[in-house]
Amino acid sequence: MNLNKLLRKNILGMNPYSSARDEYKDIQNDMVFLDANENPFDSALNRYPDPQQTDLKTLISKQKNVAANQILLGNGSDEVLDLIFRAFCEPNIDSIITLPPTYGMYDVLANLNAVENLQVPLSSDFQLEVDAILATIKAQTKLLFICSPNNPSGNTVDRIAIERLLNGFQGLVVIDEAYIDFTEESSWIQSLNAYPNLIVTQTLSKAYGLAGIRLGICYASEEIIAVLNKIKPSYNTNTLTQDAALKALQNKDIVSDQITTVLKERSRLMKAFKTYVFIKKIHPSEANFILIKVDDANKRYDELIKKGIVVRNRSSQLNCKNCLRITVGTPSENAQLLTLLKTLK
């Protein structure tokens, strides 16, 4: 793959902003820093954060068995996705492919960056229509977004189908693995070296319980990561975020226990949902949520809201008519939900 043919011409020739911390990297505790116009009075947060997040990337690299230079960190996955658009999609010329129903931010970013979004619907069981996708590709199509496990359906996407697209598409295939920790399927990051056009995104917002710190992770070839590093804001991941992420990644037993609880509760909910006559279908889930089809989504949504339980009405999404998406809560929250559902007629 010739990455230069995919890059926007202005990105290919631009020079990145060089911050004070980029220019001097050999930091020692006893040094005097008068280079970055920072407040000199120590507050633990008066210094700019490490722009390359070295400690955090080193730990992620070790845990994921991926080279540190194949990792980019962003202010949530949405920033990572936006950087990919900015690097590779020429406004008002290029296009992307998305596969509805899927994560809505892909379409938002396409509109924001003035990029055509070619939508190829998933099948009725939320799998890829590979032939239709390949037939939709244009000469200017740069990106293909696949969410697996998919949001809002919760299922993983067939690996053989994804491999066909990786081999058949000359652009970049972005696999969004926000919910990968809740499935037994292996991550695509282990296939990065086999597919130079593969980008994988993950997050600490779901399984790690750190949605509030906004940390997205991008894995790709060294060449792609170098491009994204060139255009990202220098200090896009703040000190508090880096510290919280390090702490969570160093205490994976807590995360593992919480994932185990979520999976048990997911099974409990799916079993219980079968007993309610107004729930017409329970879609298979390998995420931390369950998509159910009910008799009247608007009615059931309003009934739950009135009792203080908030779910998502996904009826506006393709192939999701009368569907509610229910996040797996704590055992006590799930008990509240099930108790309330018993009262609905």
User: Residue 226 belongs to what domain range?
Assistant: 3-250
Helix (H), strand (E) at residue 12: helix 9-13
Residues 72 and 213 in one domain: yes
Q: Which residues contact 254 (CB under 8 A, 6 or more apart)?
A: 248
The DSSP element (H or E) to which 74 belongs, if any, is strand 71-74
Q: Is there a single domain that holds both residue 245 and residue 135?
A: yes
CATH number, domain containing residue 83: 3.40.640.10
The answer, yes or no, to whether residue 76 has pLDDT greater than 80, is yes
| pLDDT computed for residue 237 by the predictor | 96
Rounded to an integer, the average pLDDT of 83-100 is 98
Separate counts of helices (H) and strands (E) for the chain: 13, 11
**pTM (2 decimals)?**
0.95
The residue written with tokens 């108790």 in the block is: 339
123 and 154 belong to one structural domain:
yes
Look at the block and give the residue holding tokens 């001097």.
Answer: 24
pLDDT per residue as tens digits for the range 264-281: 999 999 999 999 999 999
Put residue 53 in one of left, alpha, beta given phi > 0 → left and psi -120 to 50 → alpha.
Answer: left
> Could you tell me if 11 and 157 lie in one domain?
yes
Does one domain contain both 240 and 282? no
pLDDT more than 90, % of the chain: 91
pLDDT band at 25 (very low <50, low <70, confident <90, very high): low
Nearest residue to 97 (alpha-carbon basis) of 144, 142, 53: 144
Looking at 200, 219, 250, the residue that finishes a domain is 250
The number of distinct structural domains making up the chain is: 2
Q: What is the CATH number of the domain that holds 266?
A: 3.90.1150.10
Which residues have CB under 8 Å from 86's CB, separation 6+? 8, 11, 113, 231
CB under 8 Å to 342, separation ≥6 — which residues? 276
236-241 mean pLDDT: 96
Do 325 and 289 contact (CB within 8 A), yes or no?
yes
Among 250, 271, 298, residue at a domain's last position: 250
- Note the pLDDT tens digit of each residue in 171-187: 999 999 999 999 999 99
User: Is residue 94 located within the same domain as residue 147?
Assistant: yes
Is residue 122 within 8 A of residue 100, CB to CB? The reply is: yes
Is the Cα dihedral 168, 169, 172, 178 positive or negative?
A: negative
For residues 244 and 334, membership in a common domain is answered with: no
Domain limit, last residue, from 250, 269, 294: 250
Q: How far apart are CA 64 and CA 186, in angstroms?
A: 12
Please indicate, yes or no, whether residues 275 and 244 belong to a single structural domain of this protein: no
Residue 123, pLDDT > 70, answer yes
Inter-residue contact 152 to 320 (CB < 8 Å): yes
* pLDDT score for 30: 78
Task: Looking at the structure, tell me whether residues 209 and 165 fall in a common domain.
Answer: yes
Find out whether 290 and 283 touch, Cβ atoms under 8 Å.
Answer: yes
Contacts 24+ apart (CB under 8 A), 100-103: 100/317, 100/318, 101/126, 101/150, 101/152, 101/153, 101/314, 101/317, 101/318, 101/319, 101/320, 102/145, 102/147, 102/150, 102/151, 103/145, 103/147, 103/151, 103/176, 103/178
Note the pLDDT of residue 335.
98
Q: What is the mean pLDDT of the segment spanning 34-59?
A: 92
Q: What is the pLDDT of residue 33?
A: 85
Q: How confident is the model at residue 345 (pLDDT cuts 50, 70, 90)?
A: confident
